[in-house]
Amino acid sequence: MTTRSNDALAGQRIAIIGYGSQGRAHALNLRDSGFDVIVGQRAGKSRDQAIADGLPVMDPAEAAKAADLVALLTPDMAQPAVYAEAIAPNLKAGGALLFAHGFNVHFGQIAPRADLDVILVAPKGPGALVRREYEAGHGVPCLYAIQQDPTGQAKARAQAYAHGIGGARGGLIETSFAEETETDLFGEQAVLCGGVTELVVQGFETLIEAGYQPEVAYFECMHELKLIVDLLHEGGLSKMHRYISETAQYGDLTRGPRVIDASTRARMREVLAEIRSGQFAREWVAEYRAGNPRYQALKAADLAHPIERVGAELRSRMPWLDAGRPAQPAAPTERPEAA
Ligand code: NAD
Ligand code: MG
């Protein structure tokens, strides 16, 4: 794993600001790919982790001053202040500012200096996977996009960075800040996080209210989801159909479209429209500024659901389920975005 000499980032220093889920994975992968990496991280657990990982660590402002490219990998809601305080006054003219999600640029929360290349490299997976796949010689596929290119080097820099984190091994796809931001939010709201968890919980509650045992309902609606998701991930609908029974296939094909139907699609379109109009972004920024009262109340209620009690009890008999996955560096309350 060496840096190719024609890399647009050869001889340039990369500062990773925010050493959390994505930050740690990017920093370690780039370092192992031969890049010159420093970390800008305020005091706390994440900073201790970066030091333990053997990386040069400094305050965000110092790191921005010492870098050619700054990757801004704090939580999205914290980025505008970090940009204004640590990056804008310090990053050299002609430097590059990189994001892993387009939210703040697309929704106008950060208006980067005109002399900076503004680029996006968005891995389509959580940080722990970005690191694990890289170490295994694989890679989480990445989207990349260019918002500003005053140096003429923006695209080459984005591609070099994506290569460095292993994101090109699985295929690199060019997008725009708008497309990445809107599809990423839609995916996590309607399908990956919001959609799937509601489906699981509603299925669990339907079985409980009909008098079935919670343990049986848990295995059916939550535990077995992994088998199906793995099949879909590995080989799409075809692989899943090859592995499930004929009875399961017939039930899927005839009942699935009754559970998720045209009315669900209509609500998905509403959710997408709220994202595209900026309504979701305004709501989330206002919530964050108000100290997250609604977010915290909703999350507490979610985690107090009976499915969590049954699940914890059943999973405690299968400790291997939770082994081998590195702990997330940031505390859950520090991590507003899930995907
Ligand atoms: P995170 O919450 O895991 O880590 C954030 C880091 O920033 C932590 O080290 C924390 O100490 C630090 N931090 C928190 N608040 C701060 C503040 N106010 N000032 C300075 N530092 C602060 O973040 P993440 O989930 O890795 O997200 C980083 C970026 O990556 C976001 O733009 C996110 O949308 C994007 N992204 C995340 C994922 C994911 O799976 N987590 C996937 C793709 C893209
Ligand atoms: Mg995502």
- Please indicate whether residue 21, judged by its CB atom, sits closer than 6 Å to ligand 1: yes
pLDDT at residue number 322: 86
Kindly write down the DSSP assignment for every residue of 137-177, as one continuous string: T----EEEEEEE-TTS-HHHHHHHHHHHTTTTTT-EEE--H
Q: For 74-128, how does the pLDDT look when each residue is reduced to its tens digit (9 = 90+)?
A: 999 999 999 999 999 999 999 999 999 999 999 999 999 999 999 999 999 999 9
pLDDT at 324: 63
pLDDT of 80: 98
Q: Ion ligand 2 — residues with CB under 5 Å?
A: 184, 339
pLDDT-derived band at 6 (thresholds 50, 70, 90) equals low
Per residue in 208-234, pLDDT (tens digit) is 999 999 999 999 999 999 999 999 999
pLDDT tens across 246-302, in order? 999 999 999 999 999 999 999 999 999 999 999 999 999 999 999 999 999 999 999
- Angle formed by the axes of helices 21-32 and 154-164, nearest 10°: 90
pLDDT of residue 323: 78
Ligand 1 lined by 28 (C-beta under 6 Å): no
Whether residue 233 lies in the annotated active site: no
Catalytic residue among 26, 101, 106, 163: 101
pLDDT given for residue 49 in this prediction: 97
Query: Is any atom of ligand 1 closer than 6 Å to the C-beta of 18?
Result: yes
Measuring from atom 29 of ligand 1, which residue has the nearest CA? 73
* Ligand 1, atom 30, residue with closest C-alpha: 100
The residue among 37 and 170 whose pLDDT is bigger is 37
pLDDT digits (tens, 9 = 90+) for 124-155: 999 999 999 999 999 999 999 999 999 999 99
Verify whether ligand 1 is closer than 6 Å to residue 44 (CB atom).
yes
Distance 215 CA to ligand 2 centre (A): 31
Quick one: pLDDT at residue 170? 82
- Does the model's pTM come out above 0.95? no
Distance 79 CA to ligand 1 centre (A): 9
Judge whether residue 326 has pLDDT over 60: no
